[in-house]
Structure 1
Amino acid sequence: MAAPESPSLILFSGLAADADVFSPQKIAFPQLVVPEWPTPQVDDSLDTYCDRLADELRSHENVIIGGASFGGIVALHVAQRLKPLAVILIGSVRSPEELPRIARFCRLLKPVVPLIPGRLLQFCCMPLASRFGRYFAPHLSGLARQFRNSDPRLFKWSLSQLLGWKCTPAVNCAVYHIHGDWDLALPIRYTRPDEVIAGGGHVISLTHPTEVNRFIQSVIDQTVARE
């Protein structure tokens, strides 16, 4: 009897981040695809944006999708359209109710998001994203590195969608969630993860690749066993 074929794997990076956030996973899982973030159209909502993403990825069959941070939210919305075998959330949330209180409070500030001086903030993040920052503030440094390399326009659009997120996606597959207990962006106390990484911050795909890769492999194994 032939061994079951390993499913395809698609992971979305965090808030306007690039594929580098999954560098350790790309080594461990040769089948991994990390889509680039398409440039949002002027009138794009999260739903219309995910419609286009799903259309671009529809050729992938027998697939597990997931994402880190905002990428996990996108993965849940895309899952409604692609019907994957499973969804993996990495330092993300399942519903708007799991967002921290500060994010829910900041919904009132959504209209001013386009006015954020993205390039200036990226410049200010450079010290925190440096080797010095990694040593003295490793949890914040990961966030700073992710923000420093982002497209400011895409970042502001993503932030606006996050602040306006109100509907929990209904998916017809298992959802697996791994989270760091030192996540400052999406604190673990508001979430219900299946696995907790001790000492893990918000960018656990980079800072704790062994644990994240093991979790992904366990999801693949469970999914293949069910097929």
Structure 2
Amino acid sequence: MSAHLYLISGLGADERMFQRLQYPPGYQVHFLPWIKPQENEPVSSYAARMAQSISADGPVVLMGLSFGGIMSLEIARQIPVHKTILISSIKHSTEKPFYYNWARKLHLHQLPDQLLYQRRGMIVKKFMSVETEEEAQLLTEYLSDRDFHDLRWAINTVLHWENEAVPADVVHIHGGKDHTFPIRFVKPTHVIPDGGHFMILNRAEKINAILQEVLG
């Protein structure tokens, strides 16, 4: 019986973020797309709706990138999951940088679109640690979406996310130079010292070696 590996990208991204990853034999790989969040929808409700797209006749493994990692943990509360793999993400409330709490209390995520989102390109590219023209082009495509409803919902969800219970079967792969979730706040199971938040593309060979270890 094959295991089923479900991939969840960062919000606003798609399956191209996983294009350089390689998986051991014995896995059926599926990309789990994002769905439209309802107005002020709790993350638990959203995860339950997203989990409805998971249909497997064998063990389920979730692998989430960035915000997709948070969603993987939330989905794992809804359905039986054999293993959860987080890449460039967080698994516990205490792993959020302290200044995220400042942003929440000051309601910075509620600033008008033209201040917070429309001119975010240069800042996002720095936080993502983009290294090549190909990566910059891909990120530009993701940033071209001008429907900010989903982005606002995601940022609000991250800022207010509370989680204390971390399953024992979580694999957490993190970069030592991640600017979005700095390593000094995070306690991963595997560290890629020179990896940034975009390491799933530019450090894929190192991630693949870890995946062979934890999925093989």
One fold, TM greater than 0.5? yes
1:37-65 superposed Cα distances (whole Å, 9 cap, x missing partner):
10111131111100101122144631110
1:178 matched to 2:173? The reply is yes
Q: Which runs of 5+ in 2 are unaligned?
A: none
* 1:155 Cα deviation after fit: 1.4
Return the match for 2:213 from 212, 215, 218: 218
Distance 1:220 1:121 in 2: 40
1:110-162 superposed Cα distances (whole Å, 9 cap, x missing partner):
4753633366225x449959xxx7359x8xx5995585255532111100100
Distance 2:194 2:137 in 1: 13
* 1:217 Cα deviation after fit: 2.2
Return the match for 1:153 from 149, 154, 165: 149
Distance 1:87 1:210, change over 3 A: same
* 1:9 Cα deviation after fit: 0.7
Question: Which residue number corresponds to residue 100 of structure 1?
Answer: 97
Distance 1:10 1:91 in 2: 16
1:19-39 superposed Cα distances (whole Å, 9 cap, x missing partner):
2111112x6567322211101
| RMSD across aligned positions (CA) | 3.0
> Structure 2: which amino acid aligns with 1:184?
H
Question: Which residue number corresponds to residue 7 of structure 2?
Answer: 11
Distance 1:188 1:18, change over 3 A: same
The aligned runs of 1:1-227 (5 Å cut-off) are: 5-25=1-21, 28=23, 31-59=28-56, 61-110=58-107, 112-113=109-110, 115-117=112-114, 120-121=118-119, 124-125=121-122, 128=125, 134=131, 145=140, 148=143, 152-171=148-167, 174-221=169-216
Normalized per residue, which structure has more helix? Answer: 1
8 A contact 2:175–2:192 mirrored in 1: yes
> Structure 1: which amino acid aligns with 2:52?
D
TM-score if structure 1 supplies the norm length? 0.79
8 A contact 1:9–1:32 mirrored in 2: yes
8 A contact 1:16–1:158 mirrored in 2: no
Q: Tell me, what secondary structure is at the counterpart of 2:173?
A: strand
TM-score if structure 2 supplies the norm length? 0.82
1:64-113 superposed Cα distances (whole Å, 9 cap, x missing partner):
10211111010001011121110101011111110111112211144753
Q: Which runs of 5+ in 1 are unaligned?
A: 222-227
* 1:170 Cα deviation after fit: 5.0
Distance 1:143 1:116 in 2: 22
**Identity rate of aligned residues, in percent?**
27
8 A contact 1:12–1:75 mirrored in 2: yes
8 A contact 1:114–1:156 mirrored in 2: no
* 1:191 Cα deviation after fit: 1.0
Q: Tell me, what secondary structure is at the counterpart of 1:56?
A: coil
Distance 1:90 1:60, change over 3 A: farther
8 A contact 2:18–2:201 mirrored in 1: yes
Alignment length (residue pairs): 208
Deviates more, 1:77-86 or 1:52-61: 52-61
